[in-house]
Amino acid sequence: MTEQTEGLDSTGGGSDSESARLTVDLGALRANYRRLAVSAPRTAAVVKANGYGTGAVPAFEALCAEGCRDFFVATVEEGAELRRAFAERSMERGLLPSGRRRLAAGRIRAANSRGDREAVASRIYVFSGPLNDGGAQTMARNDLTPVLNDEIQVRRWTPYRELPVAVHVDTGMHRLGFPWDALSADLFEGLNVRVVLSHLANADEPADPMTDRQIDRFARATTVFPGAITSLANSAGALSGVASDMTRAGIALYGGNPFATQRNPMRPVATLEARVLALRQVGRGEPVGYRGTHTTTAETCIAVLGIGYADGVPRVLSADARVAWRGSRLPIIGRVSMDLMHIDATTVSDGIALGDWVEIFGSTVGVDEIAAWAGTISYEMLTRIGSRARRTYVDN
């Protein structure tokens, strides 16, 4: 197992002062990619929102080494930052001349690993498309491929028409994209359309008839773009057998369950943990936390954890939710506060100690499980993790 960390603690490089950490298993990330990649000729990785909270650049590099060529981000800023960050890491490893910050296809001649070579040749698509002329220029300058969503964006991209684009077709979500039944080849004349894509609204429920309607509409729309790569299936669609030339893997890459009612087929990637900062032995009938929303019913060992809603733990979590210490599930009690939370550690009071790490979610308490307790989804749990949680990367 290899390990690396991002960020330094206040003591100058150790980890004794941190109170929360997110451990990301890049080996599990790659394993999830391999599982998804068998479903289509090409599988793209969605690394928007900082790689669903896990770190876009480490995910990008790990997946490049696995052979991924296509990546999707939400905004031009995300795409440009991904190119810049990879270029800086390449300079640190001596793969780019000092001071050379722009990374475009073919610019790294000294790349000496598969991951570096694949990163150079990677395609980064921007879902939002060019929102203004400056955004279009930034995309062209950073070798980013826009996903065009309307006629205004088509006109905005005209100065760069020789560069590749993707076209988004709205087949029923009614968010972004050209209406599927109002497409005309004339609108895209002169453009280098490489990919045509749409997004499934209800793929997490494979039997939902909406998916079949969208598949049919997309098939009709793609006739306007002969020869273009088609991309329809997301994580759930890929695992359900929805056919297209290129799938787009998102939540499943990061270990979240792509299905609403089926067992999670993916390996957990992210583990969020908090340190025990205090242990309190309190008697029966004592209120706990803000507003005393929990009252002890017996002699109780309370462990105070160094994590709160500022770090991404939802305030709404209550005594129904559990965390884990060395495989034992322990209930959350009282209100989650900004920096701290309480758990009932009575059943493990003989073993738990100050400084121990407690799993908020990971291999014992799944991210989808704690998300359900909070009334949300794993996407939100992962993307809301705050910057105070040190990111540590391992390769198991």
User: What residues are annotated to the active site?
Assistant: 48, 290
Q: What are the start-end ranges of the E strands in 119-199?
A: 123-126, 144-148, 164-170, 178-179, 192-197
Encoding tokens for residue 115?
Answer: 């991951």
Instruction: Decide if 367 contacts 256 (C-beta within 8 A).
Output: yes
Instruction: Decide if 343 contacts 332 (C-beta within 8 A).
Output: yes
Instruction: Decide if 272 contacts 360 (C-beta within 8 A).
Output: yes
Measured distance CA(72)–CA(95) in Å, rounded: 24
Going by C-alpha positions, the residue among 195, 196, 178 that lies closest to residue 187 is 178
Reduce the DSSP state of residue 282 to 3 states and report it: strand
> Under 8 Å CB-to-CB from 62, ≥6 apart: which residues?
26, 29, 30, 115, 395
Could you write out the DSSP letters of every residue in 88-122?
A: HHHHHTTSS-TT-----TT--SS--SHHHHHHHT-
- DSSP code, position 339: S
Reduce the DSSP state of residue 275 to 3 states and report it: strand
Reduce the DSSP state of residue 294 to 3 states and report it: strand
Reduce the DSSP state of residue 304 to 3 states and report it: strand
